[in-house]
Structure 1
Amino acid sequence: MTEDPVTRAPRRGPEADRRLRIARAIIMSTLAFIVVTVLALPLAEFASFFAGAGPVAEGRTLTWWRPAAAEVLLVVMVVLLFLLLRDRMDGRRIPDPRLYWGSLALVAASVLLLQTPVTGMSVVGAWWAIGAFLAPRRRTAAVTAGLVLLPWAALPLSPMDTHPAVLVITWVLMVLWALLLASGTLATLWLWDITAEAVEGQHARARLAVTEERLRFARDMHDLLGHSLSALAVKSELASRLAERDPARAAAEMTEVNELARQALQQVRSAVSGYREVSLADEVHTVGEVLSASGTRVRVKGLDGLELDPGQESLAAWVVREGGTNVLRHSDATECGIVFSRTEDAGTGERSLVVEVSNDRAHPLGGREGGSGNGLAGLSERVALGGGVLTSSRTRDGGFLLRAVLPL
């Protein structure tokens, strides 16, 4: 995951965005196919004009221009409906009125132009199967009532001689067909909403974990330094007032100011030291929560029963913290491994603790900040001061391994 430049919190990486784009493209293509099929209906009427098929009512004739004009209108309607569907998947619950009513007007005009009642009913059903889920329920209910009556209103304009019973049966079948398509549309959009909300929820949990840790440290700083800094301000102001009237007392106040400043500095050092030198178990737990919130499974091995002195524990915790940060900021990992193991040199008998933090999907820079590895360089110096050795390398499966050998 990358880092937000404003909040400094992790955000979705390229892998998560790529998966969402692929899912979006598949859903858009599936739903768009339903509407695109209606473009074949006017072509069938156009072909029937030249074939002379179908019973024509007395005094009426089939024409070629009506299906041709309906085809043009339906092409524009498909484009508008596709744009509405795109907006819906982008999270827009209220459709653009121009696109929505424009596509609906084109459907109505094309139904009035089409010469076969069955064709008009199919066009209405295809639009409703998608359009019913693009607007609020009240509007959809009113539009649905109008679309149910639209094919019957177009009957006087049809030159075809169709038996009323056939029309009723066809209308019922078209309603059932539209409901079947609509159920598929509803399920598809529902799954998309769940997927998008789940990805955003992972991102939000990762941001929350980072924010809570910063708030905790800020709260500690405020509690520790608030009293000391207030006392420093009061005493320094008093000393400035007594500088001319009572130099001896002013000097005494400044001595107290100096002592308070030393105490405040010591408090800051203690707080920062405590913040850095957390227990290894706490650090592993914190890193695991943050990575899990960002969608990365964490596997810990060898921590149970591991006993270290405070210095070694703090150093191991630093390795885990930097390794976790490296995974969060410089990978699209689905899995992270944190492994602790003891080794012993056969020749010298020296025992060491090996700490390994690995992930399965590292960015091309190999997890180094800006390509320079500032974070790893600082950790390497810290490990070296403790007598250990830090190495980092890409793995054969495209991941990244951070390995520290710490003397026991």
Structure 2
Amino acid sequence: MNDEEEYVGVGRPPTGRRQVWIKLLWIGVWLAFMSAPVKDLADGHHTPWGTALGVLGLLVFVGAYLVLVFRHTSKALDRRVVQSSIAFLGALAITLFLTLGTAWLVLFVYVAVSVGATLPLRTARWLIPAVVAVLVLLGLTDDHPREIITALVFPSLLGGFAMTGVRQMIRTTIQLREARATVAQLAANEERLRLARDLHDLLGHSLSLITLKSELAGRMLPDHPEQAAAQVADIERVSRQALGDVRGAVTGYRRPTLPGELAGARTALAAAGITADIPAVAPEDLPEKPEEVLAWALREAVTNVVRHSGARHCTVTLGPRQTLDGKVLELTVADDGVGASGTEPGNGLTGITERLATVDGTLIAPAGNSRSGSGKGFTLTLTVPLGSGLGSTE
């Protein structure tokens, strides 16, 4: 049995019989003050009817007190129910005191505790002293021992205000638990978004390349079986790489690099029959996160060129640039195609924008983040900030 099963969590309702008894023990610890009215009933100072009514009144009072505090700390009750219950406890305490004597003044301690445990601080901070004032006024109305009245004032004030602190702690714990659950949900949503974005980039690129090579192999098969076999071998290699990338995306252990994506871009564009102008090397000593973001962006941009542009030529530039805000690494992917028209950004550009936001990068694309169909081509420019001394190509 672990700690969470054995002990009742603060602000959490009990989930088992053991936890119910533990919580009842903590709430009922205040019942030690009941020794005075119990002794008064046991001494036989009252008539049989008075004793019987005193026992019944005491049982009703204790039951109402336990139900109010126990239920309210487990699950907040309606405000009118709480107010009515406290009013009932106060009226019963006054009735039992006026009927049975000084020993029953102790019931006002429980009324004060109930106020502190169930009402907001702005109400409890004046109602607790009011309950204590009623205790004192009733005690002074007759020839009651002054030391008993004095002895009950401090427990009433201390118990009532101590329970306001306990109540606030319970409310804060509940809020923290809800906040923690919300954070966990947001983290899970973010991870699902990351996985969906990564799988889109991975499979979109790989499946596009597999489709192109499959079509090419089909055209070569009748007359050039050797070249078709080479394309099939490439398809197998790309498929294995895609499988590895997907496994890496699921486990969170893969990280694309710019050199790898530049090489992959050359292969994909060549397979699509697009003339490519791509840097031979990438800048060295790049920060890990900006490099990863640009690598993903390059993969997505090249995939879009292959699938949608209808271009004959594609140019990729990559290098550091000094701006007024500091040094940045700039990636540009430009083609001379027309591609598909549209007015809303696709999943790819949305994913690029989200990744750039994590490194304070920027994205510049044609209006609407779509291809115009005008034949003027499409240019995508991305920048990520760099620290001094980074991005050297030497």
TM-score, normalised to structure 2, is: 0.43
Which is bigger in relative contact order (C-alpha 8 A, separation at least 6)? 1
TM-score, normalised to structure 1, is: 0.41
Q: Work out which of the two has the higher radius of gyration on C-alpha atoms and give 1 or 2.
A: 2
